[in-house]
Amino acid sequence: MLYPNLAAASRALSAQWRWPHFSVRELSCRCGDRFCSGQYWHDPDFLDALEDMRARVDRPLVLTSGHRCAGWNAAVGGAPLSRHKQIAADIQIAGHSREALLDAAVGAGFTGLGLGRSFLHVDRRARPARWYYPGSERLWIQ
């Protein structure tokens, strides 16, 4: 479900929020007021998978990108059909083993896996896909 802004999402979800390691703010669009006011796409299954992934690595996950409004997605060079326009997350690699982070994502049920130099993209698409971002392939190959 899409909430038009951070304030609306926070009000609507505060009583039912059950994901202690993540917040509406960190998963909302980060464009500021350039295009939206913090749009948020709520998907409990996605959040359950993030919590599962965090438990599997037993360390905090730093999300560098969550939902993106169409304007922000275009501004940051996101693909026109980016899963971030609904719900996806880019997770910072620093402080993690690439292999452990990827294994945790797969174990938690993420099916869209983008392997970047400094981040791992995760989403829950119907048809599994795995790709490398430019310049990252040698970092991920064991």
Please give the CATH architecture assigned to the domain spanning 43-140: 2-Layer Sandwich (3.30)
Contact 129, 112 (CB under 8 A): yes
The rounded distance, in Å, linking the Cα atoms of 55 and 63 is 15
pLDDT tens column, 86-140: 999 999 999 999 999 999 999 999 999 999 999 999 999 999 999 999 999 999 9
How does pLDDT run across 76-98, given as a tens digit for each residue? 999 999 999 999 999 999 999 99
pTM: 0.95
**Considering only CA atoms, which of 109, 105, 112 is closest in space to residue 131?**
112
Distance CA(42)–CA(67), nearest Å, equals: 9
Domain map (residue ranges) of the chain: 43-140
Percentage of the chain with pLDDT > 90? 96
What is the C-alpha to C-alpha distance for residues 69 and 45, in angstroms, rounded to an integer?
20
pLDDT band per the 50, 70, 90 thresholds, residue 142: low
Number of Cβ atoms within 10 Å of the Cβ of 70: 15
Q: How confident is the model at residue 141 (pLDDT cuts 50, 70, 90)?
A: confident
Average pLDDT score, the chain:
96
What is the rounded average pLDDT of the residues 48-52? 98
**Overall average pLDDT of the 4-22 stretch:** 95
User: For the stretch 31-65, what's the b/e string if a residue is b when 16 or more beta carbons lie within 10 angstroms of its beta carbon?
Assistant: beeebbbbbbbbbeebbebbbebbebbeeebebeb
Determine phi and psi for 67, rounding to 5 degrees: -65, 145
**Alpha helical stretches, state H, the chain:** 6-13, 24-27, 44-57, 70-75, 98-107, 137-140
Q: Can you tell me the distance from the alpha carbon of 6 to that of 25, in angstroms, rounded to the nearest whole number?
A: 7
Reported as half-sphere exposure (CB side, CA atoms, 13 A), residue 130 has a value of 11
